[in-house]
Amino acid sequence: MILKVCGITNQEDASAAIAGGATAIGFNFYPGSPRYIAPERAAEIVSAGVRRVGVFVNESPAQVEAVARLAALDVAQLHGEESAADFPAALAVWKAARVGAGFDLARYENSPAEALLLDGPAAEMFGGAGKPFDWRLAAASRIRIIVAGGLDASNVAQAVAMAHPWGVDACSKIESAPGKKDHKKMTEFLQAAKAALGA
């Protein structure tokens, strides 16, 4: 089971996420994001015992692998138009997809990705916009699903009940400002998610 906190930009938030029960933390390497962190800074953040996930948008496999080596990543979370041919060979991949009008889960069923991260509609914003989607769409999947988009302590149990996911991922709804976590909201989210997932 994955309990992920994304948009980590500092050691204080990473440590609080891990203390709260996170099993994965995410670093956003997309320069257009308000939560962008330089790979060198991410490399300095200590996170023993959890998976380190890097968020990328339309980067080459070679660039993803270079950042992964520098920042000690375990997973590449790909939010662009990447196909399986663009997946880096050196680490696990979570392919992100935005669920909007006309979304077709079937097109991802044969993906070689370790998991499919389903996020809410975000218009032209890559990496999510903190909006939920119809979680029932995820329940029929044959592959591992991570639910993201607008999750916090108030709705994560409902998302888990409807989507039956492998994991959940929160970011903007547990922040006090972009890239700065509200530790109370984050801990409450992690406790609610843990209980819902039976983790």
pLDDT at 128 over 60: no
Say if CB 130 and CB 113 are below 8 A apart: no
pLDDT of 123 reads: 42
Q: Which residues are catalytic?
A: 6, 119
Task: Find the mean pLDDT for residues 65-87.
Answer: 96
User: The whole model's pTM is what?
Assistant: 0.93
Q: Considering only CA atoms, which of 127, 128, 131, 145 is closest in space to residue 57? A: 127
Domains and CATH numbers, the chain: 2-197 (3.20.20.70)
Task: Find the mean pLDDT for residues 65-90.
Answer: 95
Confidence of residue 130 (pLDDT cuts 50, 70, 90): low
Q: What percent of the chain has pLDDT over 70?
A: 95
- What type of residue sits at position 108? Y
Cα angle at 123 between 121 and 124, to 5 degrees? 130
Confidence of residue 88 (pLDDT cuts 50, 70, 90): very high
